[in-house]
């Protein structure tokens, strides 16, 4: 399974993380924004859905909602791989995704003022 590796000076080792996704690099999760919010729907996976341990872990992490970036960081897999795994979960109806721009394209004045005050108080 592990492909050949060589070192790229600036970027680290060449890896084949897409082995986890059966070699697929595209799925319905392809366009998921980094800060799109993913929440497990709570539906139980159909028998034979064939979820891998990474996908089960994602369902756990998203029980109360987590962003795509949070998930990738938490499972410690590259973003592209996480997007493919999420795409499968999405197709299976196991997670729901809320795109950040869908609800409000721009944050409200009230939210921004809250952020400014929150940052000052850090």
* Footprint on this chain of another protein (rule: CB under 8 A): 3-4, 6, 8, 10-19, 23-25, 33-35, 37, 65, 67, 69-70, 72-73, 76-81, 98, 100-101, 103-107, 109-116, 118-120, 122
Which residue lies nearer to another protein by CB, 5 or 56? 5
Whichever of 1 and 47 has its CB closer to another protein, that residue is 1
Q: Closest distance between another protein and the C-beta of residue 65, in Å?
A: 7
Cα distance between residue 57 and residue 78, in whole Å: 15
What is the distance of C-alpha 21 from the center of its chain?
14
Nearest-approach distance from CB 32 to another protein, in angstroms: 10
Q: What is the DSSP string of 23-80?
A: T---STTTT--TT-EEEE--PPPPTT----HHHHHHHHHGGG-EEHHHHHHHHT--HH
* Minimum distance from residue 17 beta carbon to another protein (Å): 7
Helix pair angle (53-61, 79-91), 10° resolution: 80
Closest CB 78 distance from another protein, rounded Å: 4
Nearer to another protein, 45 or 70 (CB): 70
CB 16 within 8 A of CB 80: no
């Amino acid at each position: 399974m592990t492909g050949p590796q060589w070192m790229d000076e600036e970027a680290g080792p060449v890896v084949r993380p897409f082995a986890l996704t059966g070699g697929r690099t595209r799925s319905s999760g392809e366009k998921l924004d980094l800060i799109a919010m993913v929440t497990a729907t709570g539906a139980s996976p159909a028998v034979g859905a064939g979820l891998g341990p990474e996908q089960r872990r994602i369902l756990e992490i998203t029980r109360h909602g987590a962003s795509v970036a949070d998930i990738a960081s938490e499972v410690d897999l590259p973003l592209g791989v996480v997007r493919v795994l999420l795409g499968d979960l999405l197709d299976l109806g196991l997670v729901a995704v809320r795109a950040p721009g869908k609800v409000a394209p721009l944050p409200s004045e009230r939210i921004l003022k809250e952020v400014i005050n929150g940052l000052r108080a850090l």
